Copies of this chain bind each other. A is one copy, B any other.
Amino acid sequence: MGITLEQAQAAVLAAHKKALEMGVKMNIAVVDAGANLVAFARMDDAWLGSLDISIKKAKTARFFDMPTGAIGGLSQPGGPLYHIEHSNGGLITFPGGIPLKDASGKVIGAIGVSGSTVEDDHAVAEAGVGAVSSH
CB distance from A111 to the nearest CB of B (A): 14
Q: Does A39 contact B (CB under 8 A)?
A: yes
Q: Does A49 contact B (CB under 8 A)?
A: yes
Report the nearest B residue to A53, measured CB to CB: B87
Q: What number of A residues sit within 8 Å (CB to CB) of B? A: 54
In the complex, the answer to whether B37 meets A118 with C-beta atoms within 8 Å is: no
In the complex, the answer to whether A34 meets B36 with C-beta atoms within 8 Å is: yes
In the complex, the answer to whether A48 meets B75 with C-beta atoms within 8 Å is: no
- Given known A1-B1, A33-B1, A84-B53, contact A9–B93 (CB-CB < 8 A): no
In the complex, the answer to whether B63 meets A49 with C-beta atoms within 8 Å is: yes
Chain B residues with CB below 8 A from A33, complex form = 1, 34
Q: Does A23 contact B (CB under 8 A)?
A: no
Residue of B4, B9, B37, B77 touching A51 (CB-CB under 8 A): B37
19 A–B contacts, CB within 8 A, in A order: A8-B41, A34-B48, A35-B48, A35-B49, A39-B41, A48-B63, A49-B63, A49-B91, A52-B88, A52-B89, A56-B87, A75-B82, A77-B77, A81-B94, A83-B85, A83-B91, A84-B92, A84-B94, A87-B92
